[in-house]
Amino acid sequence: MEFTIHLQILGIVLVTAIVMGVVANKTNFCTMGAVSDWVNMGDTGRLRAWLLAIAVALLGVTLLEASGKATIGTGTFPPYRTPNLAWLRYVLGGLMFGVGMTLASGCGNKTLVRIGGGNLKSLVVLAIASVCAYAMLWTNFYDTLFGSMMSATTVNLAAAGKASQALGDLTGVGNLAFGLALAVALIGFAFSSSDFRGNFDHILGGVVIGVAVVVGWYVTGGTMGAAWKEFADFADVKPLRVETQSFTFMSPMGDLARYLMNPADTSLINFGIVALVGVILGSLIYSLVSRSFRIEWFVNAGDFLNHAVGAVLMGIGGVLSMGCTIGQGITGVSTLALGSVLTLIAIVAGSAAMMKYQYWRMMQEA
């Protein structure tokens, strides 16, 4: 019976991720694309869809916590609300990830969606990013390259009497009031555009991705999550990452690489790995049904190099910042964590800067 709760959690994650993959493919929900449309064409449609996803996730988490249906707290994976504010980690990692996702033609989620659509370039990106994420998570690479720098610049908010880095706690307003106000403001902004209101795909993408994040928090932070953690505590072999969490894709890539080194150890199959597989499956299902499945490969060596460098930056930067455009940009922001907001801003800034550089270089070569 206890093992069943573990399979139930992973089953719900799989189904939710499949839905995410289907919808992300159908609606072309893409955070890198959102930045590109905004920076290069002044089109905010996909940006508003991203903000709507944030608002839906934020509203859901705020109401879950207020009603006692889920407990988020500071003990999540990753530790979004930790009182140790590693601001340089968020900013540097976010900048790296933003540049990387631009070079690699998409963030972690988009990489999975593109794989499901037949893009073999994204499969290479997944492989390289997974190896880099593995190095950051499961070797001494992080400690050697970043450890001392991040420790020296981390701010201990607890010393200032703050229980967490959640914006509601930091401002004294409270997470309920802050969360509701911010969610309403984001929804208002998203729907202030008549073009956005008339675009079903943008609305669908934002709502479904946001709801998926809420499902993750509800399942792992509610009563099912409590039973899941109790099972893990008494299991002979404790499954990996049985913690309160929702969708994020960079650390799971590192976990996937670790699992593939020892596929006989099923305890390594966790929320994140199942989510990766689910998004790919969902995208594959949609691409086959819609007959949009197309095999794609690198155009030339330069194309490969861009994607390879981008994948390295995504794998290292995504783990350094403790999340990607989904993991920090939606899941993290739904907890009102200041670090998630810093990461989101840094990702957008890094991506926009790389796009401007690519445009400048193209004009120089013209």
pLDDT tens, residue by residue, 209-220? 999 999 999 999
| Residue in 349, 343, 317 with CA at minimum distance from that of residue 253 | 317
Q: Which of 250, 282, 248 is nearest to 133 (CA)?
A: 250
- Asked if residue 34 belongs to a domain, the reply is yes
Domain tally for the chain? 1
Q: Tell whether 185 is covered by a domain.
A: yes
3-state secondary structure 24-84: HHHHCCCHHHHHHHHHHHCCCHHHHHHHHHHHHHHHHHHHHHHHCCCCCCCCECCCCCCCE
Tens digit of each residue's pLDDT (9 = 90 or more) over 220-256: 999 999 999 999 999 999 999 999 999 999 999 999 9
Would you say residue 78 lies in a domain? yes
pLDDT of residue 364: 86
Phi-psi region of 77 (alpha: psi -120 to 50; beta: other; left: phi over 0): beta
Place of tokens 């990766």: 276
pLDDT at 3 > cutoff 80: no
When pLDDT is averaged across residues 82-91 and rounded to a whole number, the result is 98
Is position 365 within any domain? no
The boundaries of the domain holding residue 312 are 2-359
pLDDT of 74: 87
Q: Would you state the pLDDT for residue 35?
A: 95
Residue 83 belongs to a domain:
yes
**pLDDT exceeds cutoff 70 at 310:** yes
Local structure of 23: helix, strand or coil: helix
Instruction: Give the model's pLDDT for residue 2.
Output: 54
The reply to whether 43 falls in a domain is yes
